[in-house]
């Protein structure tokens, strides 16, 4: 599983990237068949950075969650929470699928 962290209109410190990576890795607790997680931090608006998390799950492309907040880490927490809900919903859909 691969985690990519990128930023637009600015840069992130190594500590911030490590912190983001740690928060995003928690998504694997609910669904271990994630192929890639891509985190994009948009720092264009200093007052409200935006974080977007794209997840490539097995047999499913692009589960996307975004959040804006006062700080980057708060936005990451909100986006991870949204992405976690999307992953749980997708996993439940897979488990409840009954072939005919």
Q: pLDDT digit string (tens) for 69-83?
A: 999 999 999 999 999
What does the pLDDT average to over 50-66?
A: 89
Enclosing domain of residue 63:
2-94
CA-nearest of 78, 17, 79, 71 to 46 is 71
Residue 98 has pLDDT above 70, yes or no: no
Q: What percent of the chain has pLDDT over 70?
A: 96
Query: Which position has the higher pLDDT, 33 or 38?
Result: 38
Q: Is residue 60 part of a domain?
A: yes
pTM comes to 0.88
Residue 1 · residue 37 · CB < 8 Å: yes
Q: Is residue 100 part of a domain?
A: no
Count of domains for the chain: 1
- 27: domain CATH number? 3.30.160.100
Residue 6 · residue 20 · CB < 8 Å: no
What does the pLDDT average to over 14-36?
A: 90
């Amino acid at each position: 599983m691969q985690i990519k962290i990128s930023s637009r209109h600015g840069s992130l410190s190594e500590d911030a990237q490590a912190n983001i990576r740690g928060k995003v890795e928690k998504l694997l607790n609910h669904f271990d068949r994630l192929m890639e997680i891509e985190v994009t931090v948009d720092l264009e608006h200093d007052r409200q950075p935006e974080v977007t998390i794209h997840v490539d799950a097995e047999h499913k492309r692009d589960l996307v969650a975004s959040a804006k907040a006062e700080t980057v880490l708060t936005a990451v927490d909100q986006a991870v929470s949204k992405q976690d809900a999307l992953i749980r919903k997708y996993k439940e859909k897979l488990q409840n699928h009954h072939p005919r």
